[in-house]
Structure 1
Amino acid sequence: MTTNYTKLPAILLLEDGTVYHGKAAGKIGTTTGEICFNTGMTGYQEIFTDPSYFGQIMVTTNAHIGNYGIHDDETESGNIKISGLVCKNFNIAYSRKLSSESIQDYFQEENIVGISDVDTRSLVRHIRDKGAMNAIISSEILDVEVLKQKLAEVPSMDGLELSSKVSTREPYFYGDSNSTYRVAVLDLGVKKNILRNFDNRDVYAKVFPAKTSFKEMEAWQPHGYFISNGPGDPAAMPYAIDTVTEILQADKPMFGICLGHQLLALANGIRTRKMFNGHRGINHPVKNIILDRCEVTSQNHGFGVVAEDIEKSDKVEITHVNLNDQSIEGIRVKGKKAFSVQYHPESSPGPHDSRYLFDQFVTSLQN
């Protein structure tokens, strides 16, 4: 375990010219991405490895990151997906005996650049007021003018297609081949705990690359389809919108989470748009207006569906709403076994209030 790490100076520069000075964390280097913040107090390793965060610099609002170390079972994908980390305290020493290594060793192995000793309360307030923007972290270039030039070359997240960059390259199976049900998973950045939830419900999953056609997936003869979470702008993914449209036309059971929710909306003529800040945390209150009950949810998204379009639509209806800002958190297609939610019912990290949605989907496969 690394304990004698010398903290070198580092700089965080935001797109609007705001500069924060701190200490190097992880690999010495330079990284860029869209800056966002997550309010969860636990689950930093799951956040780091969530493919939906690809291309983003993560600000953690909890004061201590790394304090319980790194554990192999707490990853949501094969490697770290965030572009960089901003935190207050980067704790190299850790307390959990089951952990295998420190966060510093982990970041160095994964070539992740970060910055610590930053006033994250001030930073989050700034992002909250000014909105999402690109940023650059560097512990090797300390000239702000040079960093401004590099940052100017970074594209906006609005209009970026990123799912094909994090999706599996080859199909693979997850679960017991003797399970009762087969579900085709369109991998746009799927989390491991989503697949575990299927496996726990007598489902054998075949995970397909992002640009797989409906015809190829249908050849496996699945009982239903799952459209996963993932990074980037859903409107920049015509290939996935076409696939979801074909699944609907074939009248197959379908369940979408996060990006999958946005794609289901787009396939029904409902627009999506980039949010001012997005929702990222594990305590977002959502109301299921069909069941008239509330649930505390885990969320991670920077795009959302346009509520006015849904209200005018004769194809879909609203099933869930966010109690903080009244944004749309769930829809279902009228007359079909197709539904989606904007949040993460598999949690990891987060509460398990919403895992009933997996049961709801499996029930739809039975008929």
Structure 2
Amino acid sequence: MSSSLPPTPISPTAPSVGARRKGPRVLPTLPLSAFTPPSTGVGEQFPLPPDPNTIHPNSVIDAHVITPSGNLSNWHAEIDEALKGRLGGAVLSLHGATPGEVESVISKASASETPILALLVPFSLDEGAPTDPPAYLANPGQKPQIVLSSTFTTNTPAAAEALKWALDKGFSIDIDVQSNLKDNDSEWEALEDLFAKAMPHESDSSVPRPKGKVILSNILPPPDDLHLPIVKLLTHPTYQAYQSHCAALSLYSNVFVKFIPPSWGSPTPPTPAPTAQMAISPVDSPIDPRDTQDKKEWKRRIKMYIGPSLEAFGYARIIYGSSPSPFTRTKSNAADWYELARESFAELGTEQEGVDAVFYGNAQLVYGSASS
């Protein structure tokens, strides 16, 4: 019988193993709250997260209410209970209105019981800089503020010319992104290239900064397929592209994103009214026990998209609105979306200052006064 010993196992520090490593392992980061010592009032337990049901904005500006006629009766019927005592104003989208209809709404806006901060008026990027603009585009500083509303489908020289004209004139512009960002990375690059041509000040300090701002819609959250499980979405190329391109777009300091109901092929799930037998306590769970399975799924997915947007744009450049893109078939009740949007931010641990910025302060900044 041989008395030889088996070969010594290779040390984990041996070069053959080290050579297989791609680099230092990236460790997950934890919020500072994870290192906060326990409160003496709760024994050995860490403090519980804030109850999302207690986090409400002090005031709300709905920055996307689609009403070509300017009539707010249907919108009021939807939001009166949800926003009772919190409503600070609205931004009306006159999508589909003719120049004559726009003039009519402008003349009546000052008489509205709800403060009208701005009117989003139709404007085409595809037609280039206007040579004979309507009379209401003669004064960018009028009240309510006139904001241009357009769509982006393809990057053309005319689109860059029109966007540069608008910003240089002092107009802010809402751009509904309708290109196929979900399945085509080059569409993101086309949008970035449009901005590079229309806003050269970011790369050339000798170029004057534009007076207007750009507000992007239909990318927070972007169109998505609800059938794709969230665990697969985390590593999916479209989600990774979303993260990187949000970061690229945020480099333009006058670009904001609008947080509106997404085009997910399903209506916004409602929030059932509480019942006498249903007590909502932060001790039990930070998740509202009234949530249906659909609503829980929506909030999980929404929070996945809020995360990269917050990393890129911060709380200071996200603006809340209740109407979905008019170019989709999405149906959404304004009160249902408000609850879903508010709870999604609250469950991410957003503090009061951040909630107030998203639901009120940023809209006040962008729409409440003439661009400067």
TM-score, length-scaled by structure 1: 0.29
More helix by share: 2
Higher relative contact order, structure no. (Cα contacts within 8 Å, ≥ 6 residues apart): 2
More strand by share: 1
**Structure having the higher Rg:** 2
